[in-house]
Amino acid sequence: MYPIERLFKPIEIGGVEIRNRIVMSPMVTHFASDRGTVSERLIDYYAERAKGGVGLIITEACYVRADGRRKKYRLSISKDDDILGLRKLTQAVRKCGAKIGAQLVHGGRVCFSADIDEIPVSASSIPGPLSGGDFHIGNIPRTLRKDEINDLVLCFGEGARRALEAGYDFIQIHAGHGYLINNFLSPESNKRDDEYGGSLERRMKFLLDIIENVKERTNGGIPISVRIDGDEIIPGGYGVEEAKIIAKKLEGEGVSEINVTAGNPGAAEWS
């Protein structure tokens, strides 16, 4: 067998069989409505990719709470009213033979006040670095309180529940690229002195709490993927050695797939 032939062989991830190993990565289209709901254009877009033979489609970033949407026309999984449209999307993709996953995200400090009508939130009040057109001048986030962190954990869990009800085959938790979970994982953006900051073990707590809540809200009924940075490639960020520890911890927590990327705002050319 030539190595490339393996691309076209089925693979099982978390009990879900995928017809081949070709994956459409999550990429924002701006085809959602201004309320974050699924549009016919969005359905057609993903259905065409499924018809093309891709084995797995990971839906573009779905925000789990309104203040984490990043920009207008992003896809929402933040309320039960979103489920109907998302179900139409998953049905269209699965009808064409592909499997589909929902990427759950909160933008954290790289959200813009003008888009969410409030101050962005993060692990600490550290502004994001300048990068590739997303100029965070004066965009200083607000430090999250513990009770707010608990609420966000629930938001991710509820997002996973909605994904399951909408017919998604699995969910992907976005913990990279300078978004909220990464704001906790990274020593560059996390300057907390409580149980969520300091050592890597404590910086991982927010992500691990989310995984636990996702399992609880879905009764373990949907495989979990996590996207992490293998290297942030920014001054003060974490590198490969800590990424290895994070990955091993995720495997121990029963995560079915780890999606490794690199780079954050400040090194956007890598991500």
- Give 98-128 pLDDT, tens digit per residue: 999 999 999 999 898 888 989 999 999 998 7
161-190 average pLDDT score: 97
Check whether 144 has a pLDDT greater than 90. yes
* Residue 63 known to be catalytic: no
Residue 1: band (very low, low, confident or very high) from pLDDT cuts 50, 70, 90: low
Residue 270: band (very low, low, confident or very high) from pLDDT cuts 50, 70, 90: confident
Check whether 212 has a pLDDT greater than 70. yes
Check whether 133 has a pLDDT greater than 60. no
More confident residue, 111 or 204: 204
Average pLDDT over all residues of the chain: 94
Q: Which residues contact 84 (CB under 8 A, 6 or more apart)?
A: none
More confident residue, 147 or 127: 147
More confident residue, 72 or 96: 96
Query: What residues are paired with 134 via a beta bridge?
Result: 131
Q: Using one digit for the tens of pLDDT, what is the confidence trace for 68-91?
A: 998 889 999 999 999 999 999 999
Own/partner contacts of 214-218, CB < 8 Å, gap of 24 or more, are 214/156, 214/157, 214/160, 214/171, 214/173, 215/254, 216/157, 217/157, 217/158, 217/160, 217/161, 218/157, 218/160, 218/161, 218/164
More confident residue, 131 or 89: 89
Host H or E run for residue 252 = helix 240-252
Entry pTM: 0.95
Helices marked H in 3-82: 40-51
What is the structure's pLDDT at 130? Answer: 62
Check whether 151 has a pLDDT greater than 70. yes
Point out the catalytic residue in the list 46, 63, 179, 196. 179
58-62 average pLDDT score: 96
Structure tokens at 98: 């592909």
